[in-house]
Structure 1
């Protein structure tokens, strides 16, 4: 709990410092906030390895960025064009998840897509003709901020709790007889005087 709080506070301070001093660009405030938050989530979520989560996120970013390039080059600037791009990009995320057999988490792929859309969509809408230069700038800022957030999250993530050892089933005192078989053990009654399991009859 405390390490999660510490990671959140560190991310908040870094966001304020980087944005106030324009360390990643004067107009990069939204991309910095989004990148640090998404990178922190990648580092804090204890699912798979950090490398697999990062690879999924980066692939999602690349797919979304390519979707904007394809939309500007070949598709109409309309809801129908955006619907086609969204369908193709999300379908490719699912394909990547299936081909990797889950090693690239689907949630990290989707986070990469969400990061690009959240950071770049308004910039694209303002000037679709400058998609090449503007998308590279925003995507690079997003990836750099995400890397910083990932580093913070990975370093401050709590250690995973050890899994409890599986309980061993209790062994029955006498095994149940198999169907059609004989019991595993048969209790023997001893003679009260001789303690002989097979007393001889008296003459």
Structure 2
């Protein structure tokens, strides 16, 4: 409980810092401060091995969603059908990347990456689709900065592994004459639930 409170307060401070940086440096970070800090916090808090898989998966989803905007601006009609095709392709490609990585790049981190650029740029894109080349780099860099600060805050406070939980997953040695117990196949973390694997 205390750990959750401290982590949440640290993320709150970083969200305020993002807005302060926006005013100080003349950046347009205010509208992405909360979404960036929250998504960066999720990225930092959810455990995954290897550790580099989370940020790389995030960046893959981010890039694919950005390319989805490029596809909409260049070829797809600005209609519900065009948006539906782009959304389908982005999510499907994120799933393919996660599958091809063999679980090293988790699906959820790719979806978080896509959500970050869509959440920060969709309204800007909708108001001026023809300005994609000039508007999207600014939106991408601002939300990446906000997510990066949220990720940093969560990584500094949250433990990267829980030794007590890891110890509880180790099989107990059977005493002399005791029948060995069958290991549980219940998923133990978010990645296992998504992929269907058991640890």
Same fold (TM over 0.5): yes
Report the number of matched residues. 173
Distance 1:123 1:21 in 2: 21
Could you tell me how far apart the structure 2 residues matched to 1:119 and 1:84 are?
A: 20
Alignment check: 8 A CA contact 1:35 1:143 kept:
yes
Relative to structure 2, which stretch is displaced further, 135-144 or 30-39? 30-39
- 1:163 corresponds in structure 2 to 167
State the 1:137 CA deviation: 0.6
Shifted more, 14-23 versus 4-13: the winner is 14-23
C-alpha spacing 1:50/1:149, structure 2 compared with 1 (3 Å)? farther
Query: 2-side partners of 1:111 and 1:89: how far apart?
Result: 12
TM-score (norm 2): 0.80
Question: Post-superposition shift, 1:48?
Answer: 2.2
Gaps of 5+ in 1: 174-203
Q: What's the Cα RMSD here?
A: 1.8
- Tell me how far 1:79 sits from its aligned partner: 0.4
Measure the CA separation in 2 of the matches of 1:24 and 1:77. 34
CA distance in 2, matches of 1:77, 1:90: 19
1:27-49: CA deviation from partner (whole Å, max 9, x where unpaired):
32222221111111111111223
**Which structure shows the higher helix fraction?**
2
Q: Deviations over 1:117-167 (max 9, x none)?
A: 111111111111111111111111111111111111111113413322422
1:7 corresponding residue in structure 2: 7
In structure 2, what is the Cα distance between the partners aligned to 1:121 and 1:25?
22
Q: What pairs up with 1:17-166 in 2 under 5 angstroms?
A: 17-20=17-20, 22=22, 23=24, 25-158=26-159, 159-160=161-162, 161=164, 162-164=166-168, 165-166=170-171
Structure 2: which 5+ residue stretches go unaligned? 179-199
Decide whether the 8 Å contact of 1:43 with 1:50 is kept in 2.
no
For the 8 Å contact 2:28–2:142, the answer to whether it is kept is no
* TM-score normalized by the length of structure 1: 0.79
- Relative to structure 1, the CA distance from residue 47 to residue 24 in structure 2 (aligned partners, 3 Å threshold; closer, same or farther) is farther
SS in 1 for 2:103: coil
Match of 1:187 in 2: none
Q: Which residue is equivalent to 1:199?
A: none
Could you tell me how far apart the structure 1 residues matched to 2:50 and 2:143 are? 21
